[in-house]
């Protein structure tokens, strides 16, 4: 079964270099018409130039594909809307959005300015919100959409010096959880990808031996599956160096500790059982937590 994107239109943000460029090239090679978006700034988000996006468009066209460049900053909602409108005007639809644009402003939390925290949230979270909001009505109307958020192991598990980045990256998973539910009736599937790859973003963060193993090309297959017609929804795939894993946000079975004056002491005494992982589940939506809690409380009432 081959994955192809003939007749599909894709927007890839931050596609002037790194992973985004490879995502755009791969989608185009499999038949998609691609909007190559990139602000063209430095790793910390400073500066701007359309040339990075234009050069990837040239690569796609040289390989026989169709693409257009967009220099919109994902932080600018009006610009994101104009980008989506341009794609619809040229090609009539938008099937795929890969929210990939990103920057770093690393520092330990103690030393980090609030402005650096805010900018990273603005690019990663609000950038994904702006682009998703811009394509959502199009996808809803055509009853088809595939949206890939780019999260990170930092967001899922933490990384020293990246509190701003981690918060913004896990926020994209939160966005995915609800948009997957809201999009389901329109066949809009929303997933997240946590890559590990040697790019300018990681070149000084990882040891050279690791960088050699982490070819960015190895991340692309996971994106292609998440962007494909047969994509899952609400799935977090982690990909690097040829391996793919899934990350889950789980709920443990927990324990009933009651609401009495001694509840804090009961919890302290049973913390190991409350956090024990045997029998944990991946809830289908947020209401599962409340249902589990109410069911246990009701069961105790019935027994009493
Ligand atoms: N490389 C990794 O190991 C790794 C790990 C986890 C997550 N990620 C994520 O993968 C994505 C791609 O990163 P990369 O490693 O290819 O780094 P990269 O720096 O090469 O790519 C990021 C791209 O986003 C663009 N960009 C930045 N701000 C933008 C804005 N406001 N509007 C439009 N474009 C903008 C940049 O110009 C750049 O081309 C990022 O979201 C990053 O956080 C990467």
The Cα–Cα gap between 187 and 120 comes to 30
In this predicted structure, what is the pLDDT of residue 303? Answer: 82
155 Cβ below 6 A of ligand 1:
no
Mutation to probe ligand 1, out of 12, 17, 19 (largest number of atoms < 8 A from CB): 19
Max distance between CA atoms of the chain, in angstroms, equals 75
Count the neighbouring beta carbons within 10 Å of the beta carbon of residue 173: 20
Compute, in angstroms, the gap from residue 284 CA to the centroid of ligand 1.
30
Verify whether residue 157 is a known catalytic residue.
no
Q: Which two tokens stand for residue 171?
A: 């926020």
Residue 62 pLDDT exceeds 70: yes
Neighbouring C-alpha atoms within 13 Å toward the C-beta of 152: 25
- Is the separation of the CB atoms in 197 and 19 below 8 Å? yes
Does the predicted model carry a pTM greater than 0.95? yes
What mean pLDDT value characterizes the chain?
96
- Nearest-CA residue for ligand 1 atom 7 is 152
**Residue that is written with structure tokens 């997933």 in the block:** 191
Q: How many CA within 13 A on the CB side of residue 227?
A: 35
Tens digit of each residue's pLDDT (9 = 90 or more) over 65-121: 999 999 999 999 999 999 999 999 999 999 999 999 999 999 999 999 999 999 999
| Conformational region of residue 34, where left means phi above 0, alpha means psi within -120 to 50, and beta covers everything else | beta
Is the pLDDT score of 304 beyond 80?
no
Residue 207 is predicted with a pLDDT of 86
Q: According to the model, what pLDDT value does residue 1 have?
A: 59
Contact predicate 132/77, CB 8 Å: no
**Nearby residues of 208 by Cβ (< 8 Å), 6 or more positions away:** none
**Residue 109 buriedness (CB in 10 A; 0-12 / 13-18 / 19+):** exposed
Question: 6-15, 39-48, 279-288: which range is least confident on average?
Answer: 39-48
Per the CB < 8 A criterion, the answer to whether 216 and 198 are in contact is yes
Please tell me the predicted confidence (pLDDT) of residue 18. Answer: 97
pLDDT at 209: 86
What separation in Å is there between the alpha carbon of 178 and the centre of ligand 1?
24
Query: pLDDT (tens digit, 9 = 90+) per residue, 201-248?
Result: 888 888 888 888 999 999 999 999 999 999 999 999 999 999 999 999
* Banded pLDDT at 133 (limits 50, 70, 90): very high
Query: What is the rounded distance in angstroms from the CA atom of residue 100 to the CA atom of residue 177?
Result: 17
d(CA 279, ligand 1 centre) in Å: 37
* Pairing of β 236-240 and β 243-247: antiparallel
- pLDDT at residue 263 tops 80: yes
């Amino acid at each position: 079964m081959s994955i192809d994107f003939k007749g599909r239109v894709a927007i890839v943000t931050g596609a002037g270099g790194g992973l985004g460029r490879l995502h755009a090239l791969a989608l185009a090679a499999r038949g998609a018409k691609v909007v190559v978006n990139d602000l063209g700034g430095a790793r910390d988000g400073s500066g701007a130039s359309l040339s990075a996006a234009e050069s990837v468009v040239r690569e796609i066209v040289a390989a026989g594909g169709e693409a257009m460049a967009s220099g919109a900053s994902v932080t600018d909602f009006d610009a994101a809307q104009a980008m989506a409108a341009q794609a619809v005007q040229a090609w009539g639809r938008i099937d795929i959005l890969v929210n990939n644009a990103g920057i770093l402003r690393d520092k330990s939390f103690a030393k980090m300015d609030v402005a650096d925290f805010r900018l990273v949230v603005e690019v990663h979270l609000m950038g994904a919100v702006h682009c998703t909001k811009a394509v959502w009505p199009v996808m809803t109307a055509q009853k088809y959409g595939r949206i890939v958020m780019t999260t990170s192991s930092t967001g899922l598990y933490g990384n020293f010096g990246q509190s701003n980045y981690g918060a913004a990256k896990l926020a994209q998973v939160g966005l995915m959880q609800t948009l997957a539910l809201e999009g389901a009736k329109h066949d809009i599937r929303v997933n997240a990808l946590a890559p590990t790859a040697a790019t300018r973003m990681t070149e000084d963060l990882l040891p050279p031996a690791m960088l050699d193993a982490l070819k960015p090309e190895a991340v692309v297959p996971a994106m292609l599956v998440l962007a494909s017609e047969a994509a899952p929804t609400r799935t977090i795939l982690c990909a690097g160096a040829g391996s793919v894993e899934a990350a889950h946000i789980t709920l443990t079975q927990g324990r009933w500790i009651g609401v009495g004056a001694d509840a804090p002491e009961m919890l302290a005494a049973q913390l190991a059982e409350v956090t024990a992982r045997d029998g944990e589940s991946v809830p289908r939506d947020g209401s599962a937590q409340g249902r589990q809690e109410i069911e246990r409380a009701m069961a105790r009432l019935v027994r009493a």
